[in-house]
Chains A and B, each alone.
Chain A
């Protein structure tokens, strides 16, 4: 992806809109006993489209925003999400994403990794209460929901940054050559 000012602005606006959607809507609905979390999927999509460096920067920035907006421990989400963004970007750099199924699957897998990473950080920082086995259910439900949520997110983000995609620019149709003197009807 070629990062220009307008493209970065578009990505920032998209991230902001998705995060507000997360806080004001997704966090407040319950599906199978869990609140959907689109944030890791957003970082994965940015990593898949922009590469490892872009993914890491997006993850760090989005994590910082989430920690600030929800008054959580600053740096925890940034650390987890920058790893997620970097891995998503490396996936794109190493493997060719030819199948449309890859982005949602990667989003689901990396969401599970993000939740696990976040849990590890919390344990390292100290948890003052017993932990229920139901957090495993939460992990599975959130990952499954991330698979579903990442489909429209990937398609939408790709459309928004299409102009900057090196391998995804609308190709100009080459003028068809015809033998001289023979016109096409």
Chain B
């Protein structure tokens, strides 16, 4: 009797392990429109109203925890902000002069741009309803989807700067892959030096990004700002429009053995506590533009 039970238990366990491995294999083998991916989108679509309701209902509890976290972090933050304030006062004077010059120059060449917002883009504001708890998937789900004009690969920002791109869309929700996800790569530029590189995350540390592939000759200094590079080459163009602020250089080390220098960046946006986001939607979506885009996934700068 006991032996029979043992055999049955082992058989069930083997079956479940085999099913998991089969799912893993099938998931990797199929494309984004495959059966398992579609099933996932279906589950997300069904769960979205429940998650949104729970998100609203649990807001007071979440705010309470946020308040505790803010209070604990406020002391250290205050000291850091004081020193930053002194530095920023000096920079403000220089920036005001530069803005004034910039305005004059734009007027001269007939450009009309909104400050800090890429040209030719509108925005869809969305609320974060869920996020992945594991460090291996830096993803969040927002409460706006295809019906609001959101499409895969659109850039997602907060008031502070770039946070990621849209990876999956359902009718009423969209999943955002954050720039701290290990599959993320963003082509970026250091201002004012103009050095270009690719931003990669460090898995497990959302406060430290790496700007890689910067030529050794280019001088990058602590405190400099990183923006998206927004390149275009023929029909190919970057997923992220040029000029979105990403973060600030915290360390720029040059290893003798390395061909490129590696720069550490602290993102402007607090990626652990994102509540509202803005999805940058092209004002006039060109037909077939998605196909022409360089949706290279991992490795290449997007």
Contact = CB atoms under 8 A, between A and B. Distances in A.
Given A29-B62, A56-B16, A119 B39 contact: no
Given A29-B62, A30-B272, A86-B13, A75 B43 contact: no
A88 to B, nearest CB: 13
Nearest to B73: A30
B202 A75 contact: no
Given A30-B69, A71-B168, A78-B20, A130 B200 contact: yes
Contacts, number: 164
Given A23-B130, A56-B13, A70-B130, A138 B20 contact: no
B184 to A, nearest CB: 8
Contacts of B13: 52-53, 56, 82, 86
**Chain B interface residue count: which class?**
35 or more
Given A56-B12, A127-B203, A130-B203, A79 B130 contact: no
Interface string B280-298: 0000000000000000001
Interface residues of A, number: 54
Contacts of B134: 37, 72, 115, 118
B131 A75 contact: no
B182 A128 contact: yes
9 contacts: A20-B47, A25-B61, A30-B272, A68-B44, A71-B40, A75-B24, A76-B20, A128-B185, A135-B203
Interface of A: 20-31, 33, 35-37, 39, 52-53, 56-57, 60, 63-65, 67-76, 78-79, 82, 86, 115, 118-119, 122, 125, 127-135, 138
